[in-house]
């Protein structure tokens, strides 16, 4: 396998420090950021043009926000435990994160039910459409994160997650924290612009 090198002063070659899989993941994260930046910009522009339905955000979004923050904490616990080769704690922390991820998705789905009960639908006024798109698109990415968590949990049960094999743990933790941060950004944005 050929090594990737970067050139530094004095003509000495140094290997690149980022694994290609991590680099690909960061490119994906940047792409997701750009997509959500475009949607939030479109939301602001469309809201300013008038004919905008005012509505209250579903109360469940507060609960799901707390859940995603707790899941980020448990994911960090799993990461630290893996670095210290605390196998049992890794399994417990990943299982907790997985369950919290499922709870978040269920809560978001139930929040859609609250929106319907309040008369805010996907079709109709664009205010509601944006909310469904934001939560649905984020939920889609979170499903990918939950699948990655399940893979990592199964790997931890086989004792394949440890201090000498941290690539998947690091990538999953980074992606999971990104999803949590993205949700908090979206929630604050919606609080300020609904």
pLDDT (mean) for 69-88: 97
Q: What are the angstrom distances between the C-alpha of 49 and each of 62, 107, 166?
A: 28, 32, 49
The percent of residues above 70 in pLDDT, for the chain, comes to: 92
Beta carbons of 104 and 68 less than 8 angstroms apart: yes
**Domains of the chain, residue spans:** 60-192
Lowest-confidence region among 36-45, 50-59, 152-161, 177-186: 50-59
pLDDT band at 2 (very low <50, low <70, confident <90, very high): very low
Cα distance between residue 186 and residue 164, in whole Å: 36
Predicted confidence at residue 9, as pLDDT, reads: 52
Cα 128 to the center of its chain, rounded Å: 22
pLDDT (mean) for 50-74: 92
Which position has the higher pLDDT, 163 or 2?
163
pLDDT (mean) for 71-78: 98
pLDDT (mean) for 128-143: 93
CB neighbour list of residue 107: distance below 8 Å, 6 or more residues apart: 60, 63, 64, 67
pLDDT band at 1 (very low <50, low <70, confident <90, very high): very low
- For residue 3, pLDDT over 70 is answered with no
Q: pTM value? A: 0.87
Predicted confidence at residue 144, as pLDDT, reads: 96
Cα distance between residue 104 and residue 159, in whole Å: 27
The average confidence (pLDDT) of the chain is 90
pLDDT band at 12 (very low <50, low <70, confident <90, very high): low
Cα distance between residue 106 and residue 73, in whole Å: 19
Domain 60-192 coded CATH 1.20.120.80: yes
* DSSP annotation string for 9-78: GGG-EEE-SS-HHHHHHHHHHHHHHHHHHHHHHHHHHHHHTS-----PPPTHHHHHHHHHHHHHHHHHHH
DSSP 96: H
Cα distance between residue 101 and residue 98, in whole Å: 5
């Amino acid at each position: 396998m050929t090594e990737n090198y970067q050139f530094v002063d004095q003509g000495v070659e140094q290997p690149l420090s980022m694994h290609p899989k991590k680099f690909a993941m960061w490119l994906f994260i940047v792409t997701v950021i750009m997509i959500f930046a475009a949607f939030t910009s479109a939301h602001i522009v469309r809201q300013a043009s008038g004919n905008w339905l005012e509505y209250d955000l579903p109360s469940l979004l507060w609960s799901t926000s707390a859940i995603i923050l707790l899941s980020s904490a448990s994911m960090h616990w799993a990461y630290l435990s893996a670095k210290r080769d605390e196998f049992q704690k890794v399994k417990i922390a990943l299982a907790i994160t997985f369950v919290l991820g499922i709870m978040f998705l269920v809560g978001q789905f139930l929040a859609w039910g609250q929106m319907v009960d309040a008369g805010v639908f996907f079709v109709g006024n664009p205010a509601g459409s944006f909310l469904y798109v934001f939560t649905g698109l984020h939920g889609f990415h979170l499903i990918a994160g939950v699948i990655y968590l399940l893979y990592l949990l199964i790997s931890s049960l086989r004792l394949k997650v440890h201090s000498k094999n941290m690539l998947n743990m690091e990538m999953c933790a980074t992606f999971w924290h990104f999803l949590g941060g993205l949700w908090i950004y979206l929630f604050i944005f919606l609080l300020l612009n609904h």
